[in-house]
Structure 1
Amino acid sequence: MNPVIPAPRAAVLAGLGGWVPERVVTNDELAARLDTSDGWIRTRTGIGSRRVADPADATSDLAVRAGAAALDHSGAGQADTVLLATVTPDHPCPATAPDVADRLGLSGAAAFDIGAVCAGFVYALATATGLIAAGAADRVLVIGADTYSRIVGPEDRGNLAIFGDGAGAVVLRAGDPDEPGALAAFDLGSDGSGRELITVPAGGSRRPVTGPGADVHFAMRGREVYRHAVTRLTESARASLDAAGLLPSEVDRFVPHQANLRILRSVADDLGVPADRLVTNLHEIGNTGAASVPLALADAAAHGELTAGETVLLNAFGGGLAWGSCLLRWPKLPSSPRPYPRRSTT
């Protein structure tokens, strides 16, 4: 008797959601207290405003709101696994994901954090895909959430201009590799020799926080990061396209990590993806770290900018250094709630 070989299982996008804090910090507000200006920030980053969490809110609070929106949008309201991509967990120990799962009514679900900085959400998607393919999960809630306002120094004009707080989430279900919404053609990579380019120096086992002089603020070498980001994002996107047998001209929507508008445009140009296919929302909410890709997806979907059948390329780069990409054909989903109202920043 021939053995029965189970059909391959894919992770299929079934719902999405996002949430950002109400407080808007404009470029002019930053310029009023720091040596900067609206023009300086816009020219270098493309950002006009960002959101900052209430002092009473932690990363888990943002993650719960985004996760609830994604679960509701999926129609099922349930998940057996919760993955949280973040570099700003509520505590060094324990992980934040189990708390998020419990507060979402998913107590008992497998839950853990993923720390790949701004590439974390794509890493979490790949992890969820592997769990589903292995039969270890059937329905996974993947959340990207960060509160950079907690780790950026109060006088750090460069990083204060770039980063904002927010959370985005998707629900992935087990499905067929050929159906719309199936995630495929992952490419992941890292280069630990660049670990000091994006870092919070103190707070871990190498440099514990032992006194008031400990450097616990986020630090980034912008010029070097720019060069690495453009190179790695472009290479990773090409690897995913090659794995899928697609040309850049066949990408309908390119949704990269919302790091810096100059980086995004450079990558799109290097790939040969037309500029009008680039999805961006950082001008309104800044760089939200691991939340940026799902927030961009949720925002674009809510405003009718993603159409069923379109080929969508996801792409992210962050500290580590770490990067990743994947592809999907956009599925037909119910109308999704807006993660935030759009506002003019001109």
Structure 2
Amino acid sequence: MKKSILSIIMLIFLSTILGACSGEKSASSKEITMVWYPNESGNDLKDARDEIGKIIEGATGRKVEHKLTTDYAVAIETIANGKAELAFMGAQGYIEARSKNDNIEPLVVPSGASGTLDDAVYYSWLAVRAGDTDKYKTNGEYSIDNIVGSKFSFVSNSSTSGFKVPSSDIIAHFSEQDQWKDLMPEDLMEGGKFFKEVLYGDSHQGSAVNLLSNRADVAAFCDTCVANYVELADGEENRPGSTYKVSENAAEPFNTVPGEEFTLISVTPVLNAPFVANMESLNQEDFEKIQEAFTSDEVANNEKIFVKGEAETGLFKKTDQEKFVETDDAWFDPIRELSK
């Protein structure tokens, strides 16, 4: 009897140990979900997403599942609630996700041409159709003075360069006037007070198409998100007064407006968008493995990630020393300050 009881106890003990080991194996081999904003969810960027996935899989030995979205809020909530381990999102989206869950941490950001954080910026644009430029000049210079009463397109309320930065710029400019001294971001979110009508593109591409298809008079969107679809027609890159033209063979959604042109009336630098991790659902070891892989020379020289040449389609352009670099939460404080 004693031997039987002892045997049963040993079986229970071994089952518990094996079960625990099985659970650990299951957790470590679980798929990593990577969530993407609408801007990067198009078919034209599938190869770039897949290459990012391969880097993560190679570093961790875990399969990567890509979760595509059509809504900023969905992407932010997905990473915040742990339904994804990783995300590529703007600074404002990261700040919103971290406010929901302080376990959200920046993994890397793409550097500037110097290979450092010193010039790790892209640009928020306010643009108008090329044929309407004379309406947006003051004393011969491009200005936002005359955007009041226009039909305006933002990207999303959670977009850094498609709402947060341009709305802050607009408020800073107009609050010096008595009529608009109490202007608030909420006043810009819908038509009737400052703008005649407010639209949302749900992506930077969508906001640009709102402008070029005559649904909006002025639109906010960024340079990097439309770079694969347009070419410089006149002027210098990222300068007020410069004109861009939609390429004849542009992919969706620009395939509906080939050859159309827009002109920049305002340009503001913005902190580069981070890759972020939810540290509740991604373990520290895998975080460090992915970070090491992303910041390697091999990835910096991977032309499927940092593409060379204007004709190439990808997430990031390689003009000089661009690469992924580490950063911390405090680096995003300038964007936080815009909400104060």
TM-score interval for Structure 1 and Structure 2 normalised by the shorter chain: under 0.3
Which structure is higher in helix share?
A: 2
TM-score, normalising length: structure 2: 0.26
Higher-Rg structure is: 2
Q: TM-score, normalised by structure 1?
A: 0.26
